[in-house]
Amino acid sequence: MWYEFHIAGKKLLFSGDYTENSLMYHCDPICDRTADIAVIDCAYGRDSRSFSECCSDLTSAVSEMKEQHRTIIFPVPKYGRGIDLLRLFNEKFPEMTCCGDDCFMSQMNELYERRWFMNKTLYARLYTSGTACDILFLSDPQRRSSYSQNITESILASGGAAIMTGTPEPDTASERLIKSGKMKFLRYPVHQNHDEFTELVKQNKFRRVIPFHSAELSVGDGMIEF
């Protein structure tokens, strides 16, 4: 969801967390807009990989890891990329069973009530138990809760694996698990990189553009003026 503000005769556009590539969430594209200042998502900075390339890297890794591991854990945000991943895996691995924790199932139940939005095939393939599934969605991306940490350690100890698809925050259980080599980091894009940021700017008329959400690009380095 993006916002357009009118302040003191000036127009400000804020993209928020922005992507046009979601498999499940609808997007109202930012196109043919004007603004004096536009603050645009550029979270992935100079990482030039496209959405399709990241998805291909992820599904290839899942396919390889499943040859050695019974269950793969995916820590995901609440009401975030989890259902996109479910859609992706449903298309690429129809033979795999997917499970979700209580929070993930609650999200799916809410979406199922919006029958125009929810794919019934996806819902039918989702299970609440994580004891005998191929993919487990855990609604705690940084693994802050003891429940998340315990279930992850239990599944890893029994021969499972884990994949982080979002940015690990510093000094969190997820970051420590990645550094220890027990969890892989494979991005599923939910933001823009600089190439997508630049393409969006070309499709609009902004006097000044500020890259947002990027640790790599400072305001001074990434600002574009017209």
Domain boundaries, the chain: 3-47+190-225, 51-185
| CATH code for the part of the protein at 51-185 | 3.40.50.10890
Report the chain's mean pLDDT, rounded to a whole number.
Answer: 88
pTM score, two decimals? 0.87
Quick check: 77 and 139 in contact, CB under 8 A? yes
Helical packing angle, 102-113 and 82-92, nearest 10°: 80
Task: With a cut of 70, say whether residue 124 has pLDDT above it.
Answer: no
Tens of pLDDT, residues 198-226: 999 999 999 999 998 777 776 555 454 43
- Which of 84-88, 128-132, 138-142, 208-212 has the least mean pLDDT? 128-132
Calculate what percentage of the chain has a pLDDT beyond 90: 69
Task: With a cut of 80, say whether residue 112 has pLDDT above it.
Answer: no
Of 138 and 123, more confident: 138
H-type alpha helices, 35-163 = 51-65, 82-92, 102-113, 120-124, 146-157
